[in-house]
Amino acid sequence: MTDTSLSPQGTLVPWGDLRMASSGRLGQALTFADLRLMAKARLPKPIFDYVDGGGESELTLEWNRSAFDELAFRPRTVAAIADRSTATSFFGRGSAAPFGICPMGGLGMLWPKADLINARLAARAGIPFVLASGAGSSIEEVAEAAPDGRRWFQLYVFTDLALNKRLLGRAQTAGFEALVVTTDTQINPKRIRDIRNGFALPMKLTPKNVLEFASRPRWLWNIARDPRSALMGNLVQELGADPSARNAFDFFRANRKRSVGWEDLKPLRDAWRGPMLLKGIVTAEETAKALALGVDGVVVSNHGGRNLDGTLPAIEALPDVVSAAGGRIPVFLDSGIRRGADIAKALALGARAAFIGRPVAFALAASGEAGVEHVLAMFHDEVDRVLGFLGCTRVDQLDPSYVVRR
C-alpha cells in the first residue's frame, strides 16, 4: 500500500511541457518505437544489436512483449479521478512513480558518462536507479553525482567472497540504499546477432567494425570525448597497474562465479545492512527459498529475453511469485516494459513497481541527458493517463480485477 506520509523526493517534469520545449526529432519521439529508431540511426549496427537483441531465436524477447499485449484492461469509467497521484513507497521511502531504471552495463558505448546521467535524472525524478556491477562509472562517482537519489547496487557474484564484500562495503559507505543480486546470468548466453556481428566486450577492431564505426561519425566523436566510459569503473581498484578496458573485462570474466547456490547468497545477506533483493526469480519455489534466506524483495525478470531463450515471459511469471511472497516482501518486475500501460498491468498483477531498461538505453543513445529526461517524463505521463482511464486515483488501487487475458 502507498504510505502517503512518505513524501517522495524529486519531481518528474511534465512530459507535455518537455516535449514542446524539445528541439528537433526528440520532440517527435512519442513512443518507445520512435526512440528505438532514433537510436538505430545513431549507433553502429553491432552496438545497436547488442542493446536490441536477445538470446538465440529471441523467442522470450518476443514473448515478453506479446504477453503484455494479451492483457486487456477492465476500466471503471464512472469515477472521480481529478486528484491523481502516481506515488508509491517501498523499503520505508516514497517514490514519485512506480518505476525505476534497471541495472545496465556497457552504457558508455551509447553516451559518455551514461551511468551518471541516469543516476542524476532518476534522483531528480524521485525514482530508484540501479547501478550495474559492470557500469562505466564507479560506486563513488555515482554517489557524488546523485547524493540524494535512491541508489541501489546490482552485484554479479564473484568467486572471491572478499571481493564481493569489498564491493558491498564500498556501496554501503557511499550510501547505497539496497543491494540487488542477479541470479540468472551464471552461463554466457548465445546471442546470435552478436556472433554474426563479431561483437565482444571490449569491442574488437575488425575491418567490418571499423567501417561500421566510421559510418556513424557523430557517435564516434561523442564517444571519443570520454574514453573512460568504456571502463568498468567498479573494478578499476582491483586491476593494479593496468586499468585498461580489456584488462577489466578479462578480470570480470575470469572472476565471475559460474555456479551460485543458496549457500553463496547467505554471506551476502549477512554482510549487507539494508534491503537485499534477488533479481531473476520467476517461480514460486524460489520465492519461498528467498523468503527463508531473509531477502527483502525479489525482481521477477528473465533479463529482458537476453539469456535463456524460451523462458516464461516475466509478466506471466509475476502472479505466482506474488502469491508465494504473500505480501511479506515487495515484488518488482522488469523485462518487456515498453510503455506506461505495461507498468499499470504489472501493478495490477501485484508488482510494487517496475524497472525499465531498453527504453532508457535507446533514449540515451538518441539524445543523451535530454533523451533520458524525455523518456522518464513520457512513462510518468502514460502511467498517470492510464490510471485515470481505469478510474483510479492511486497506484495501490490497482488489483487483478483491472486486467483480463484477451
State the catalytic residues. 303
Q: Is 340 exposed, middle or buried (0-12, 13-18, 19+ CB in 10 A)?
A: buried
* Calpha distance 245→41 (Å, rounded): 26
Place of cell 531504471: 101
Burial 254-278 (b: 16+ CB within 10 A, else e): eebeeebeeebbeebeeebeebbbb
CA distances from 338 to 83, 346, 360, 405 (A): 26, 12, 10, 19
Residues 6+ apart with CB under 8 A from 162: none
Three cell numbers, residue 333: 518486475
User: Is 298 strand, coil or helix?
Assistant: strand
In the Cβ-directed half-sphere of 379, how many Cα atoms lie within 13 Å? 31
Q: Residue 303: phi, psi to the nearest 5?
A: 60, 35
